[in-house]
Amino acid sequence: GNGSMRLADASECLMQNADGEGVEDMTTLAHLHEPGVLSNLSRRYEHDAIYTAVGAILIAVNPFKPLPALFEQHVMDTYVRAASPSGGGTSGLPPHVYCIAANAYRQMMRDGAGQAILITGESGAGKTETSKLIMKCLAQ
């Protein structure tokens, strides 16, 4: 910029996470604070990675454009197969709404207990579309 410098107290500064495309599970971020979370989501969004995990929680960012390859039948089949009792689990797969749906179904069948999936967000965030995708996966 203009060559000026600003002195800041170290307590006002937050550590920055490594650059790149972001991490799939934010529990692995070295520095977990609001700017780090937002930066990670932004980096992933730039690469059309609209799903990011925080442990067992899925964050979905509305892409406001079609991403048909993300929702093809073979993608759903991959998550459903991985979540099946003989499938080996979904932990090695990228975060996805199909992962949430398939794991909820697997746990329901395994434990014989009902499951709930909470979808929350602002108006226009994509809650209805997410609900449709979950229902499609559960009806598989």
Q: Is 12 annotated as a binding residue?
A: no
Residue 123 assigned ligand-binding role: yes
Pairwise CA distance, residues 22 & 3, whole Å: 31
Residue 125 marked ligand-binding: yes
Give the distance, in angstroms, between the CA of residue 119 and the centroid of all CA atoms in the same chain: 13
Cα gap 42→38, rounded to integer Å:
6
- The structure tokens listed for 78 are 């991959």
Whether 100 contacts 60, CB under 8 Å: no
Q: Any alpha helices (H) in 25-126, and if so which ranges? A: 34-46, 73-83, 97-111
Q: Is 127 annotated as a binding residue?
A: yes
Q: Is 91 annotated as a binding residue?
A: no
Binding-site residue set: 121-128
Binding-site residue set for ATP: 121-128
